[in-house]
């Protein structure tokens, strides 16, 4: 049975993440002025397809809670606190990396072709992965490297979801639930901890990302991408 992590995530994460997103929002409002989109703009069919990993993740979380935990009022309150904390993480990191850094890198590249889009996704996801080197303070080097590789692939997928949906809300929801599965459920089925499973995990994530960003679908998002970098 998985052990519920006894951390007061509501306060610990809130104190860390809230100032980050507030400072980023202020800088963007008065200096950077990067457009950030929250209202979905894709077709219903496209949004349903893009949202399917979130639904699968919800089912996995429900399954994990049902079969691995003895449900009690105390455990539900603890999980609720962790969910609040991971939501702060999702909002802060998605606003910063997908909402601001990704389009700013695309602007810096300049030509905005689909090839440039892939480059901007890769660079912003690499930066997203590199900040997780800070986790060396709480885990060994091998675990940190595996985590950073996983985070790079996840960052690419979050970019793809943002582009295809036209809304930062979907990456925020996905990110928050993903971290909830890791922190609240002790990483149940979500975090490969060996090199073999890391390779399988990242191959699947990058295959999904590549499929989401295939040329045919990107061509349908050209107007939105132009708005993103205008």
Residues 146, 193: contact at Cβ < 8 Å? yes
pLDDT in 10s for each residue of the chain, 230 residues = 344 444 555 666 667 788 889 999 999 999 999 999 999 987 777 788 888 877 777 777 777 666 665 655 566 777 787 888 889 999 999 999 999 999 999 999 987 788 899 999 999 999 999 999 988 887 889 888 988 999 999 999 999 999 999 999 999 999 998 888 777 666 545 566 678 888 888 998 899 899 889 887 888 888 899 899 88
Indicate the pTM of the whole model: 0.88
Q: Cα–Cα distances in Å, from 65 out to 83, 187, 223?
A: 13, 12, 42
195: which residues sit within 8 A by CB, 6+ positions away?
146
**Chain mean pLDDT for the chain:** 84
């Amino acid at each position: 049975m998985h052990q519920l992590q006894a951390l007061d995530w509501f306060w610990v994460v809130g104190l860390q993440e809230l100032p980050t997103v507030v400072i980023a929002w202020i800088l963007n409002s008065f200096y950077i002025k990067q457009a950030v989109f929250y209202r979905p703009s894709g077709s219903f069919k496209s949004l349903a397809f893009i949202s399917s990993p979130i639904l699968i993740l919800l089912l996995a979380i429900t399954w994990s809670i049902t079969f691995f935990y003895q449900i009690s009022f105390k455990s539900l309150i603890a999980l609720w606190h962790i969910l609040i904390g991971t939501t702060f993480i999702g909002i802060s990191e998605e606003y910063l990396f997908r909402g601001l850094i990704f389009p700013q890198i695309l602007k810096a590249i300049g030509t905005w072709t689909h090839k440039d889009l892939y480059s901007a996704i890769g660079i912003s996801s690499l930066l997203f992965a590199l900040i997780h080197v800070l986790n060396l303070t709480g885990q060994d080097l091998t675990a940190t490297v595996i985590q950073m590789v996983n985070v790079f692939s996840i960052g690419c997928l979050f970019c793809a979801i943002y582009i295809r949906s036209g809304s930062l809300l979907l990456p925020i929801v996905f990110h928050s639930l993903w971290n909830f599965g890791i922190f609240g459920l002790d990483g149940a089925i979500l975090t490969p901890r060996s090199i073999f499973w890391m390779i399988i995990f990242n191959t699947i994530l990058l295959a999904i990302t590549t499929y989401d960003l295939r040329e045919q679908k990107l061509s349908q998002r050209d107007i939105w991408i132009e708005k993103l970098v205008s």
